[in-house]
């Protein structure tokens, strides 16, 4: 199997646009782990992607803005909310790179229910806050109805010239998921990420224990960054055994 190159620019999204949304004010907090530690979280036919023998677990809080169906405007009230996800980095048998979500916690109960039923992605309902003071960004979430806290506070700095690791963590043009007994790939496209330096001021990563990674809760992260955001479009899901068109 030949793994596709890390592509900072998205391949063309072919076919109809399933949905569009803006991701704004994103914090990126990552831990390096052995790929064997997270292999069991991958859908069938998908394995952890690696860089220099390691893979990564990401904690990514952000603001979802104007999410809507197709290329149309966002759905009033439902289309703008806070989200925090825990994600892994994947590659399928066709060599196509992607992301596997362990959790996507958000404020909107209807969004959580709809996404779980429609695509099998693990959305969870949470109470969430976001506060910005200058370049200081503070995100907090509390999983409902059980324990699963996350708090990330960081200060965004100057633009960061992306290296191989930054491309590995952000140049992902789809997600892998298991739904209705099959493994799927959902493609997306957006502008190339513009990343910024970030200083981590506070971190509560207990949400990692809620997805089966308790050993990372008290460990300092290996990579921290910030982005002002991108506008994203998703295509239709396809069988993960079918290569990128």
* Residue ranges of domains in the chain: 17-239
What is the C-alpha separation between 64 and 78, in angstroms, rounded?
Answer: 10
User: pLDDT value at position 154?
Assistant: 98
**pLDDT, one tens digit for every residue, the chain (245 residues):** 799 999 899 998 888 988 899 999 999 999 999 999 999 999 999 999 999 999 999 999 999 998 877 766 666 666 799 999 999 999 999 999 999 999 999 988 777 776 676 677 898 999 999 999 999 999 999 998 777 899 999 999 999 999 999 999 999 999 999 988 899 999 999 999 999 999 999 999 999 999 999 999 999 999 999 999 999 999 999 999 888 77
What is the C-alpha separation between 217 and 152, in angstroms, rounded?
Answer: 13
Q: Are 88 and 100 in contact (CB under 8 A)?
A: yes
Reference 51, options 194, 221, 227, 170; nearest CA is 170
User: pLDDT value at position 46?
Assistant: 97
Query: DSSP letter at 73?
Result: P
Q: Which two tokens stand for residue 231?
A: 């506008």
Q: 3-state class of 119 per DSSP?
A: helix
Q: Which two tokens stand for residue 47?
A: 């394995």
Tell me which H or E stretch contains 27: strand 17-33
CATH of domain 17-239: 2.40.400.10
| Helix ranges (DSSP H) in 17-100 | 35-38
Query: DSSP letter at 15?
Result: S
Supply the pTM of this predicted model.
Answer: 0.94
What is the C-alpha separation between 9 and 193, in angstroms, rounded?
Answer: 9
| 10 Cβ contact partners less than 8 Å away, ≥ 6 residues apart | 173, 188, 189, 190
User: pLDDT value at position 43?
Assistant: 96
User: pLDDT value at position 5?
Assistant: 92
């Amino acid at each position: 199997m030949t793994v596709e190159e890390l592509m900072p620019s998205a391949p063309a999204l072919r076919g109809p646009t399933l949905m569009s949304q803006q991701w704004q004010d994103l914090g990126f907090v990552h831990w390096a782990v052995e790929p064997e530690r997270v292999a069991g979280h991958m859908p069938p036919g998908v394995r952890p992607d690696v860089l220099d023998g390691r893979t990564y677990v990401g904690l990514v809080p952000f603001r979802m803005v104007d999410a809507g169906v197709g290329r149309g405007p966002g759905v009033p009230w439902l289309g703008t909310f806070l989200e925090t996800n825990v994600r892994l980095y994947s590659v399928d048998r066709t060599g196509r790179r992607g992301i596997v979500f362990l959790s996507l916690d958000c404020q909107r109960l209807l969004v959580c229910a709809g996404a779980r039923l429609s695509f099998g992605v693990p959305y969870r309902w949470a109470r969430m806050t976001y506060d910005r003071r200058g370049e200081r960004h503070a995100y907090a979430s509390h999983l409902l109805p059980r324990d699963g806290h996350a708090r990330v506070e960081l200060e965004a700095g100057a633009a960061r010239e992306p290296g191989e690791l930054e491309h590995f963590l952000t140049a992902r043009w789809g997600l892998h998921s298991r739904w209705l007994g099959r493994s799927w790939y959902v493609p997306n496209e957006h502008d190339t990420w513009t990343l910024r330096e970030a200083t981590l001021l506070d971190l509560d990563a207990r949400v990692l224990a809620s997805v089966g990674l308790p050993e990372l809760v008290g460990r300092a992260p290996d990579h921290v960054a910030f982005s002002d955001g991108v506008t994203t479009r998703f295509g239709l899901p396809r069988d993960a055994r079918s290569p990128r068109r």
